[in-house]
Amino acid sequence: MLQHVTRDVLVHQSDLLRNNTVVVRGPAGVLLVDPGVTATELRCLAHDLRASGGPVVAGFATHPDWDHVLWHPELGDAPRFGSARCAALLRRLRAEPDWKTQVLQRLPPEIVDEVPVEPFGLITGLPEDTAELPWEGPAVMVVEHPAHSPGHAALVVAGNRVLVAGDMLSDVFVPMLDEARDGGDPVEDYLAGLRALEAVADDVDVVVPGHGSVARGPEVRARIELDRAYVHALRDGVEPDDPRIGPDVAEGWEWVRDLHAAQAQRVARRRATDRP
């Protein structure tokens, strides 16, 4: 079910990982950001959009993770955009002879038969340094940064003062670093991404993360500071004081502690390797 965030921005949340699909309404139709994740949920989303009289006229993927580049035939054939780096990575993946097998191996086993694979990752890359999304609707600014994943880009729906944050600023997931990246420092990349989001924080009143609940008002900057404190703790080799992995973590999300422990070990190994 679609829930209003502002007058023209709505959210449809998936059951599995509390994925947030963002809908931005324009005069001729809607912009659909990170739709997901099962075929049933995507058909439900398409039904809700038809019922509200809003055809999909554009799509956007905030980054190339599997759960952010999905689609369904019932959503139509509107252009689906992403950053140039995001699109290039997905093109390389789809050029592999066994790309479908690779995609299926990334899915949680409980939904492997429920995710439409054929339209996976068909993203058109925006020109480098694109500042505004090309669509006939409210102005949507593109904020690309190096955190979490190659070509990660947040969106600012300017007139509605909404930041669509992709896989950052979540209240259920701790920050996840791009450990697979060749070269660079994933910790510093994440901190750079947070600075990019902080630079637009005064322009928004609402944050929609890729997973979890919507943040409003003072909680916008609180989410940024929580993510930064977590990354600083990883960098400094101390245990974070973070409610997302603390004793009062939400029921069913205890496994995020294991995710954090594995990530902390990888960062510690990198720090030991880099030490002179």
Q: How many CB atoms lie within 10 A of CB 168?
A: 29
Condensed to tens digits (0 to 9), the pLDDT of residues 54-73 reads 899 999 999 999 999 999 99
The share of the chain scoring above pLDDT 90, in percent, equals: 90
Query: Which pLDDT does position 114 carry in this prediction?
Result: 96
Query: Residue range 143-168: average pLDDT?
Result: 97
Q: How many residues does the chain have?
A: 276
Comparing CA positions, the residue from 149, 181, 148 lying closest to residue 270 is 181
Show the domains of the chain with their CATH numbers. 3-274 (3.60.15.10)
Contact 207, 169 (CB under 8 A): yes
Considering only CA atoms, which of 54, 33, 3, 39 is closest in space to residue 209?
Answer: 33
Q: How far is CA 176 from CA 110, 147, 226, in A?
A: 22, 9, 13
Per-residue pLDDT at 181: 67
CA 203, CA 26: separation in Å to the nearest integer? 20
Using pLDDT thresholds of 50, 70 and 90, give the confidence band for residue 144. very high
At 34, is the secondary structure helix, strand, or coil? Answer: coil
Closest CA to 62 of 132, 158, 154, 178: 154
Q: How confident is the model at residue 272 (pLDDT cuts 50, 70, 90)?
A: confident
pLDDT in tens, 77-116: 999 999 999 999 999 999 999 999 999 999 999 999 999 9
- The pLDDT tens digits of the residues spanning 26-47 come to 999 999 999 999 999 999 999 9
Residue 206: pLDDT above 90?
Answer: yes
In percent, the amount of the chain with pLDDT more than 70 equals 97
For residue 184, pLDDT over 90 is answered with: no
- pTM for the structure as a whole: 0.96
Quick one: average pLDDT of 151-176?
97
Q: What pLDDT score was predicted for residue 250?
A: 84
The stretch 225-240 carries a mean pLDDT of 97
57 Cα distance to chain centroid: 20
Q: Do 119 and 103 form a contact (C-beta atoms < 8 A)?
A: no
Q: Which comes out higher in pLDDT, residue 257 or 182?
A: 257
How high does pLDDT run on average in the chain? 95
